[in-house]
Structure 1
Amino acid sequence: MNIKHYLRRAVSLPPHIIIKKMSDKIARKVAFVRRRQHDMKLPTFTEALSSHDKLGSFFKCVPVELLLPHKDWIIAVTEHYLAHRFDLLGSGWVQVRHGMRCRGVEGHVYYAGREVTPDKDGHWLEGRINRANVTESKRIWRFIDGDYSPINWHLDFKSGYLWSGDTWFQDIPYGHEPGVDIKVPWELARMQHLALLVWAYSLSKNGREGFRHYDVYRREFCNQVLDFIATNPPRFGVNWRCTMDVGIRVSNWLVAYDLFKAHGAEFDREFDSLFFKSIYEHGLHIVNNLEWYSQLHGNHYLADIVGLLFVAAYLPRTPETDVWLAFAVQELVEEVEYQFTSDGVNFEASTSYHRLAAEMAVYGTALIMVLPPEKLRALKDYDYRLHRSIPKLRPASMQLYPLEGSEEKTPFPVRYLEKLEKMAEFAMHVTMPDGHVPQIGDNDSGRFLKLQPVYQSMTVAGAKMSYNNLDTYNVFPDDTVYWYEDHADHRHLVAAINGIFQRHDFADFATEKQLEYYIVKSLCNNGRSFSCCSKKKNNYKEHDTSDNGLELYTYPGFGLYIYKSKFLYLAVRCGHIGQNGNGGHAHNDQLSIELAIHGVPIIVDPGTYLYTPLPEKRNLFRSTAMHNTLSVSGKEQNTWHEGRSGLFGMLDQAKAKVVEINTHKFLGEHRGFGTVHRRLLDIHERYIHGFDECNLSEKKTVVFHVAPGVKITMAQRDSRLDLYYGKLRVRLSAETGEWSVHESFHSPGYGIIQNCQLVKLQSTQNSIRWLAEIVETK
C-alpha cells in the first residue's frame, strides 16, 4: 500500500488506534525478520512423526448410482487431470508444466522458465528449492512414479509469470506486474480436482466403460500430492503466501484421501507417512499465520479456521491438536455469527462470496457433528494456554448445546443453526429460473470443495467464439468437445445444507444435486435432521395473490430484494457495501436491477472479470456505469483509493436505503452523487415502470446491461428499442431522453469475458421515466 493510503486512513482514526496499529505493525515486522532468518538457515519440513499414527476417517462411500448421471464429464475432465491439463480462471484447458508457452493476458506475456528433465533421484530440484530444504525435497521425490511429469505449481499459467520456489512466503510479491495474477497458481494449488479422481476411481472399479484402470487415478492422486510437497517446502514459494489457500488445499487433500479410502483404495506406508506429516505442517502454518485483523476478518479467516478444523479433526489427539480443534470450533461459531447477518446472508455484499463462505460453514459444521466421542472430549480437556495466536482461545470447557429432539449436545447454539438453514434459503430464493444466481458484487469463482461441479459441453470453436479469453486457444482442434465449467449454479449449496436439515422444499429445488446431499447427510450420522426455520413464520417473504402471484423476498442484511412469479424474475440491489463498511467485494450497483422473463436472462450484472492483473478492468467492472442503474457523468456512487491499495475497498458515500417496498412497488435511494438519486419501480408481471430522479445539472444515463445472446433492434427516431431472444420480446421506451446501443462486456466467471451490448437512455432532465414491457412471449 502506498503512503497516501496510510495517510488517508490515519486522518480518519483516533490517536490511540493509530498508535496501536503502528505498534502491531512493527511487532509483526520484527517477528517476520526473525522467522525469515530461522527458515533460511534450517529446514522447514518437520521431523518425522510417529509411524503408528493414522488419520481419522469420516466420509462414506458414495453409491455408484449417484455418480452415473455425471459419467461423461467425469471421464473427460479426469483425462485432462491425468495429463496435467487444467482450466482455471479463464485459462482454457492447458497442460501446466515447466517450460510451457503461455498465451498471455490481454497482450501481457512473460517467460515461463525453461523445460526440465526430472530424474528419479530429484537432482533436477537443485537450484529450485532453498538449500536448507533441498535434501528432504529430493528424498520425497524418490517416492514418485518414474514416468511422472512434474506440474509447475509456481507458475501463473495464463500470463507466464513464474514465482521463485525458494523465496520465503512473506516476500512473495503480487499485483506488481501487469497481467500477472497470483490467484492462478493459488487456484491450482487448492487441488480441488483431486476429489473428482475418486469418482473416476469408483466408476472404473465398478466396471463402467470409458475409464482407465482404477488404480491409475489413485496413483495420480499420490503423485500430484507428493509432487506438491517436494516442490513447495513449508513457508517457501507462492503457495504458502495466502493462508486461506493453505486451508482450502489441506481440506481438499483430506477429503479426497478419505473418499479414496472409503471406496477401497489403499496407500503404502511411505505415502501415508509423508502425507500425515504434510497435513501437520499445513495445520502449523495456518495457526501461525491467521488472517484475523481486529478491524475486519472475512472469508479468508473463515477458510483458515475451517482448514485448521479439518486438520485437527483428522490428526490424532495430542495437547497441540486438541487446542487446534477447540480453537477452530470456537472460531467457526464466532465467525458464522460475525460474517452472516440475521437473515442468513454473508456480510461481504456478494452472492458468490456467500456461496463460498456458506460452503465452508456447512462442511465445517457437518465435520464437527460426526466427530467421535474421543475427539469431542478435546473440547472439555484442552489447555487454552498452549494457544498463542490472536484471537485468544477461551478456557475449557467449551459450552455445548442440546440438539432439538435428541440427548446429544453440540457446540452450536440454535441461532447458529438458524443461520445455516437460512444460508440455503437465500441461495434458493436468489436463484433465477435458469438455475443461475445474479452476480451481485464480486465473483472470483471461489469454492471450498468441488464435489459436484457443473460442466456444459460445446466445441472448441464454440468456446472460442463465445469467450474472448479463449480467442487464441489452440490446444485442441476446433471440432473437439470442450467442457466449460458453469460458475453461477449454486444449487449444490442448498443440497449440501439440506443434508443437515432435510427439508422438502430444499430437496425439490436441488433435485439434480443429490451427490452433495448424500455426502453431507452421511457425514451427519445418516441425517439426524432438524429444522430451526421451517417451524417459524418466514418474515422475508410476502405473497400477493391478487395480481398474478408475484412473491417478494426481502434480504435487508444483504441489500437485495427479489420479485418472483412463474413469468418474471426481478432482483433489486439497495443496501450496505459489505464487510462492515470496507466494501472490498462490493460494486457500485446501488438501485441496479436484474431481469429475467420466462427463465431467460434479459438485463444482467456484468460480473467481475479480474482483480490485480489489470486494475483498470477491475475498476471498470465495479463502476456505476457498468450496472443497471442511473449514472452521472464523472461521478461514482462510492469512490475508492487509487492504486493497488484501493482495489479491495471503497468509501460508503451512497448510504443506500429502501424507502418503501411491497409486492408491486420498490422505492429506494442513495446519496453517492452528492445529492439523492431516487428510483421508483412499479412492478407487474408483464411490465415495469421505472422512475429515476436526481437533481443535478450533469447529463444522466440510465443503463441496461443486456445479457449475451439477447438481440437489440432500434425503432425509428430512437423512440424505443426491442430486446429479443427467440420469440421473447421486451420493449424499452421512455417519455424523454435518447436511446443508444453500445458494445460492452460480460464476465460469467473470474478471468472469463465475452462480448455483449448495453443500452443507454441519456437525458439532462432531473426526472427520467422509462418502461420495460413484454410484447411477445415464448
Structure 2
Amino acid sequence: MSGTQADSTAALAGFVRRVRWYRNRLRAMSAGEVAHRVREMARRQVSARRLPSSVTAFDPGDMALPEWPGLAEGVGGLAAGTRLMTQWAAHVEAVRAGRFRFLGIDWPEAASPGEPPDWHLDPATGRRWPPDAWCFDIPYRHETDFGDVKNVWELSRLQYLQPVAAYAVVAEDDAAARLCLDHLSAWIDANPPYRGVNWPSMIELAFRVVSIIVIVTLLKARIDAALRRKIMRALYQHGWWIDRFPSRFSSANNHLVAEAAALCLLGSLAPDLPGARRWRTQGRRSLEREVLNQIAPDGVGREQSPAYAALTLEWLLLAGDLGRRTGEPFSGDYWRRIARAGEFLKWITDSTGGQPRIGDDDDSRVIGNGMASEDTINSVLGCIASACGESALAPPVPTAHLRNALFPAPVPDRLWPAGMRHFAEGGYTVDRRNRTGGVPDHLLVFDHGPVGYLSIAAHGHADTLALWLHVDGRPVLIDAGTYLYHAGHAWRDHFRGTVAHNTLTIAGENSSEISGPFNWARKAGARVLALDDDPERWSVTADHDGYLETHRVRHQRRVERTGAGRFRLTDSLTGAPGDHRVEIGFLVSPHFRVEASGTGFVIRDEKATALSIRHDGPLSGWVETGRTAPERGWHSPGFGVRAPAPRIVFAGELTTGTPVVFGLSVGEGQP
C-alpha cells in the first residue's frame, strides 16, 4: 500500500470513529443536553471567528498576583521533612537536566540544561500536536497517529513545577526559582489562547490554574512586573474559557467539580479580574451542590472509582480550606459529606495503605510531588482527617506530600475498621479483619452498585458483582486497572470489560455494552436481593440484568463469610431455561504464583499461602497469563503500562439454575 493510500485509509478510519463516537454520545443525551450541545457548538464557532480583544489582549495593569493564604508558611514548615526535601531536590535536578517522565513514558531529553520541554510533543510517537490549530478543531479523541492525548496534557498541567517552587522557597535556591518561572513563562508563550491541544479540555485548564497559583504564591517576590502581567493575563484567559465552556449534563462529573473549584479559587484569590466575583459565587454554589451529588450519603464516590473519588475530594478540600482561611466557610453539610467519603476510603484501605483499584485510575491529582505515580488516595485520606478533625480517618501509613503545607499530616492511625460494612447507596459490601488466630489481616470488597455516574458512566468498568481481596496489606485478587484512554482502542475495551474483572461473563460478552472509551450503549443494573449483616457470618445476595436482553438470564452472586478468613461464593444464572457458555475469572497479582490443588488453586509467594480457592460445580479450571486473541490475563499497574498477570478461570456450560460454588480461604487454611 502506498503512503497516500495508507493516509487515505487512516483518514477514513478516523472519520468512521468520529461518526460512531457522536452517534453513541447522542444516545446518552437528553433533549436538554442536545440543545445545550448545539448552543455550545455555536459558541465554539463564534469564538473561532472572533475573540474579544478584552480577553486576548487583556491588560491587568497593576493587578496583584494571587496569594494562597497559609501556603507559603505551610511549605516552610515542611522543611523539617528531610525525606521530602531530598525528593524535591532530585526532582529539581531532573527538571533542570530536561529529564521528563510521566505516565510511564520518557520525553526526549532537553538539548541544554534548563531548557523547557516541547509542550506539543507526543512522546509516544515523536509527533507534534499542531500548536497553531484552533483547539476545538483538533480531533484528539479519534487520532491514530498519536499516542494518548493525556500524555501531553499531563506535562501541561504544570504540576511538575509545584515542587520546584516549593524547593526553591524552602532551600532559598534562586536558580530553582528561575528555572520554575522560566518554564511557566515558556508555556504561556508557546500556548497562545486558544490554539493547540492544551486548550480544548476545561479540566486541564483547571489543573493549570491551581499550578500557576501555587507557583506565584511561593515565588511572588521573584516575579517582575512584565512576568506578573503575563501571568495575570494567562490566568484571566483560563478563567474566561472555563466559564465559557462548562461541563454540563452527562459531562458534569469530576470535570464540573474541577472547573467550579478552579473558578472559586481564582475568583477568590484574584478578585480584581473581570468576572471574579461571579466566578467565586457560582463556583461555591456548584461545589456545595456537587459534593452532595457526586458523593453518596454513605460516602461512596458516584463515579465508582476510588481514584476519581480522591481526585474529586482533593478539589473539594482545596476550595473548602480556602473558604475557611478567607472567612467564607462552606456549609456543615459540605464538610460532613467529605468526612463520610473519608469513612468509605478508610474502610477499603488495607493495613499498608492500599486500596482496590476499582474503575478508572489515571494517577490524576491537583497538588503534585513530582512526576512519578503517587499514593494519592492515602494522602487525600490524611488531608480529610486533618481538615475534618477526625483522627480515626488517618491512613495507617503516612505519606509526606506538598499537600501537607495546607493540611498538616495527621498521626497515622494503626487501628482501622474491622468487621462488615454494607454501603447500600454506593453499592459495596466490605469485610475487613485484623490478624487473628493465625489468619492474616484481609480486606474483601464486593461490588453490587451501578456502573458509574450519569448517563455515560465515563470512569466505570463492566465489573458488576466483581470482588477484590487483599491479604496482609497486599493485593491478591486484583482489578485489571486502566492502561489507556483515547489511544487504547481494543485494549481500552479489554481493561474496562467484564473478562478483565473477578466476576462471571457469558459467551465472552460484557455485562455492560461498551460504545466508546468513556461511554456505554447499555449498563448493567444491579440489585441486592438479600442481606444478612451478622458481622461474623454475614451474607449478601445480588444480581444484575446485564445479560437479560441478550441471553434472557440474570447473573446472581451470593457472597458469605463462613468463618475466620473463609468465604463462600455462589454464582448462578436465573431466568429462561438453557445452557450458557460462561467464564468466571479471578485475576491474581503477578507478585504471587498460582498452583493447581485438587479441585481448585492455591495462590502463594515464596513465604506463605495467601489464598486457596476450591471449586464445586460443572466448570473446568485453568490459569492463563498474558494471552492475546482474545485478551486474557493482563493488568495495568499504572496508566500507560500493561503487563501479564495470572488469571484463574473456570469455564464451561452452565445450565440456568445450577449453582457454581467457590470456597475461599485466606492464609494456610483449607477452604
The TM tier, using the shorter chain, reads 0.7 to 0.9
1:222 aligns with 181
Question: Aligned-pair distance for 1:672?
Answer: 1.3
**Partner SS, residue 151 of structure 1:** coil
2:81 paired with 1:67: yes
Q: Write the mapping of 1:623-638 to structure 2, written as runs, cut at 5 A.
A: 623-638=497-512
Question: Aligned-pair distance for 1:148?
Answer: 5.0
Range moving further from structure 2, 49-58 or 618-627: 49-58
Structure 1 pair 761/66, CA: closer, same or farther in 2 (3 Å)? farther
1:76 aligns with 90
CA contact (8 A) 1:575 1:658 kept: no
1:186 aligns with 153
**C-alpha separation in 1, matches of 2:230 and 2:22:** 44
**Partner SS, residue 344 of structure 1:** coil
2:287 aligns with 332
CA contact (8 A) 1:571 1:595 kept: yes
Q: Which amino acid aligns with 2:342?
A: A
CA contact (8 A) 2:163 2:402 kept: no
Q: Write the mapping of 1:323-402 to structure 2, written as runs, cut at 5 A.
A: 323-371=278-326
**C-alpha separation in 2, matches of 1:720 and 1:362:** 46
1:284 aligns with 240
2:523 paired with 1:652: yes
**C-alpha separation in 2, matches of 1:581 and 1:29:** 21
Q: Which amino acid aligns with 1:756?
A: A
1:619 aligns with 493
CA RMSD in angstroms, aligned pairs only: 2.8
Match of 2:559 among 681, 691, 698: 681
1:210 aligns with none
2:101 aligns with 87
Question: Aligned-pair distance for 1:741?
Answer: 0.7
Match of 1:591 among 465, 483, 503: 465
Question: Aligned-pair distance for 1:284?
Answer: 1.4
Q: Which amino acid aligns with 2:212?
A: W
Structure 1 pair 36/443, CA: closer, same or farther in 2 (3 Å)? same
Question: Aligned-pair distance for 1:760?
Answer: 0.7
2:128 paired with 1:159: no
**C-alpha separation in 1, matches of 2:642 and 2:90:** 24
Match of 2:647 among 739, 748, 758: 758
2:662 aligns with 770
Q: Which string of whole-angstrom CA distances, capped at 9 and with x for unpartnered residues, describes residues 646-685 of structure 1?
A: 6433522343435324233222211212212111222233
Structure 1 pair 767/681, CA: closer, same or farther in 2 (3 Å)? same
Q: Which amino acid aligns with 2:142?
A: H
1:739 aligns with 621
Q: Write the mapping of 1:80-479 to structure 2, written as runs, cut at 5 A.
A: 80-92=94-106, 94-95=107-108, 148-178=114-144, 180-205=147-172, 214-261=173-220, 265-293=221-249, 295-317=250-272, 320-371=275-326, 410=329, 412-450=330-368, 452=369
1:516 aligns with 403
**C-alpha separation in 1, matches of 2:384 and 2:83:** 21
Q: Which string of whole-angstrom CA distances, capped at 9 and with x for unpartnered residues, describes residues 691-724 of structure 1?
A: 1111551222221100021011224xx6332110
CA contact (8 A) 2:97 2:114 kept: no
**Partner SS, residue 56 of structure 2:** coil
Question: Aligned-pair distance for 1:440?
Answer: 0.9
1:104 aligns with none
CA contact (8 A) 1:499 1:517 kept: no
1:35 aligns with 47
CA contact (8 A) 1:723 1:731 kept: yes
Question: Aligned-pair distance for 1:559?
Answer: 1.5
Question: Aligned-pair distance for 1:199?
Answer: 3.5
Q: Which amino acid aligns with 2:158?
A: M
Q: Which amino acid aligns with 1:274?
A: K
**C-alpha separation in 2, matches of 1:671 and 1:52:** 58
**C-alpha separation in 2, matches of 1:501 and 1:152:** 41
Range moving further from structure 2, 621-630 or 510-519: 510-519
TM-score (norm 1): 0.74
Structure 1 pair 316/4, CA: closer, same or farther in 2 (3 Å)? closer
**Partner SS, residue 334 of structure 1:** helix
Q: Which amino acid aligns with 2:365?
A: R
**Partner SS, residue 607 of structure 1:** coil
CA contact (8 A) 2:499 2:508 kept: no
Structure 1 pair 2/148, CA: closer, same or farther in 2 (3 Å)? closer
Query: Matched residue pairs, number?
Result: 615
Match of 2:570 among 660, 682, 691: 691
**C-alpha separation in 2, matches of 1:369 and 1:28:** 35
Question: Aligned-pair distance for 1:441?
Answer: 0.9
1:109 aligns with none
Q: Which amino acid aligns with 2:539?
A: K
Q: Which string of whole-angstrom CA distances, capped at 9 and with x for unpartnered residues, describes residues 197-234 of structure 1?
A: 134224533xxxxxxxx111100111011000100001
**Partner SS, residue 682 of structure 1:** strand
Question: Aligned-pair distance for 1:509?
Answer: 3.6
Structure 1 pair 651/229, CA: closer, same or farther in 2 (3 Å)? same
Q: Which amino acid aligns with 1:772?
A: L
Question: Aligned-pair distance for 1:306?
Answer: 1.1
2:382 aligns with 495
1:555 aligns with 423
**C-alpha separation in 2, matches of 1:746 and 1:638:** 20
Match of 1:669 among 529, 537, 543: 543
Structure 1 pair 171/319, CA: closer, same or farther in 2 (3 Å)? closer
Question: Aligned-pair distance for 1:508?
Answer: 6.2
CA contact (8 A) 2:602 2:612 kept: yes
Q: Which string of whole-angstrom CA distances, capped at 9 and with x for unpartnered residues, describes residues 342-391 of structure 1?
A: 1233211111110110100000111122125xxx6xxxxxxxxxxxxxxx
**C-alpha separation in 1, matches of 2:529 and 2:97:** 53
**C-alpha separation in 1, matches of 2:68 and 2:665:** 57
**C-alpha separation in 2, matches of 1:304 and 1:192:** 16
**C-alpha separation in 1, matches of 2:594 and 2:60:** 66
**Partner SS, residue 580 of structure 1:** coil
Q: Which amino acid aligns with 2:403?
A: E
Q: Give unpaired runs (5+ residues) of structure 1.
A: 99-116, 118-146, 206-213, 377-409, 454-483, 528-541, 544-549
**Partner SS, residue 699 of structure 1:** strand
Q: Which amino acid aligns with 1:48?
A: D
Structure 1 pair 11/189, CA: closer, same or farther in 2 (3 Å)? closer
**C-alpha separation in 2, matches of 1:488 and 1:150:** 27
Q: Which string of whole-angstrom CA distances, capped at 9 and with x for unpartnered residues, describes residues 104-140 of structure 1?
A: xxxxxxxxxxxxx9xxxxxxxxxxxxxxxxxxxxxxx
**C-alpha separation in 1, matches of 2:45 and 2:24:** 28
TM-score (norm 2): 0.85
CA contact (8 A) 1:349 1:585 kept: yes
1:728 aligns with 608
**Partner SS, residue 132 of structure 2:** coil
**Partner SS, residue 594 of structure 1:** strand
Question: Aligned-pair distance for 1:634?
Answer: 3.5
Question: Aligned-pair distance for 1:316?
Answer: 3.3
**C-alpha separation in 1, matches of 2:21 and 2:245:** 24
Q: Which string of whole-angstrom CA distances, capped at 9 and with x for unpartnered residues, describes residues 9-41 of structure 1?
A: 77898xxx64x55554443333322221124x9
Match of 1:701 among 565, 583, 588: 583
CA contact (8 A) 2:254 2:312 kept: yes
Question: Aligned-pair distance for 1:512?
Answer: 4.1
Range moving further from structure 2, 154-163 or 195-204: 195-204
CA contact (8 A) 2:40 2:245 kept: no
**Partner SS, residue 562 of structure 1:** strand
Question: Aligned-pair distance for 1:493?
Answer: 0.5
CA contact (8 A) 1:67 1:515 kept: no
2:432 paired with 1:564: yes
